[in-house]
Amino acid sequence: MTDALTALDSTFLELEQQDDGALMHIGGVMVFDPLPGGGTPTVAELCANLAPRLGLLPRYSQRLSSPRTGRLSWPRWTEDERFDLAAHIGHAVLPAPGGRAELCRWAADFYSHRLDRTRPLWEMALITGLADGRWGLAHKTHHCLVDGVGSVDVAYLLLDAEPAPGEREAKAPAPAHQSAISRAGRPERASTSG
């Protein structure tokens, strides 16, 4: 099943396409205390935690039908038959002392690179080497996939509120998150005209 991008989402792609200096992704860096018992998660553990939750966000395993936009048609969302969750999650080790300056330098580089339009339009990185045993997650998602508020709602689906949560049931999100989830997850997306 494929769905056409909306005019607004196609505009985000066109703006980026027309200007080498335009980056139309959004994201954030989250810093966490060490895990209970110390240490940081591994990329494999992060993938294992995220894999069952991505079912609530089908767009996260879809790619554009064409990396370019414009002319007489817009790209469509299509399943990425080669989708590999591990290929979307990198690992960065900060240099000592692993403070704010090192994190900001790394983040500036991470966010200065465009997302690959031949793959699903998001990336995440596990950041280790932070001072005091802390660790972080950085994420980057193209604006045509999710908006700023929606990315916060997506974080609610991907993260837990406590270090050792009980079994998580894969179910539809709460109504408060429907608009954000429909943008990133549900194919039936209504467009509005202003």
What's the pTM?
0.80
Q: Which helix (H) or strand (E) holds 157?
A: helix 148-158
- SS3 assignment, position 102: helix
**pLDDT one-digit tens code per residue, 94-126:** 999 999 999 999 999 999 999 999 999 999 999
- Report how far residue 9's alpha carbon sits from residue 146's, in angstroms, rounded to the nearest whole number: 9
Mean pLDDT of 178-192: 39
25, 139, 143, 177: the catalytic one is 143
pLDDT number for residue 118? 94
How close are the terminal C-alpha atoms of the chain, in Å? 28
Q: Is 63 helix (H, G, I), strand (E, B) or coil?
A: strand
CA dist 55 and 67 (Å) reads: 24
* Residue 88 annotated to the active site: no
Q: Tell me the Cα Rg of the chain.
A: 17
Q: Options 1.10.10.10, 3.30.559.10, 1.10.1240.10, 3.40.50.2000; which CATH number does 25-62+82-184 get?
A: 3.30.559.10
Q: What's the pLDDT score for residue 134?
A: 97
Q: Which two tokens stand for residue 72?
A: 């007489």
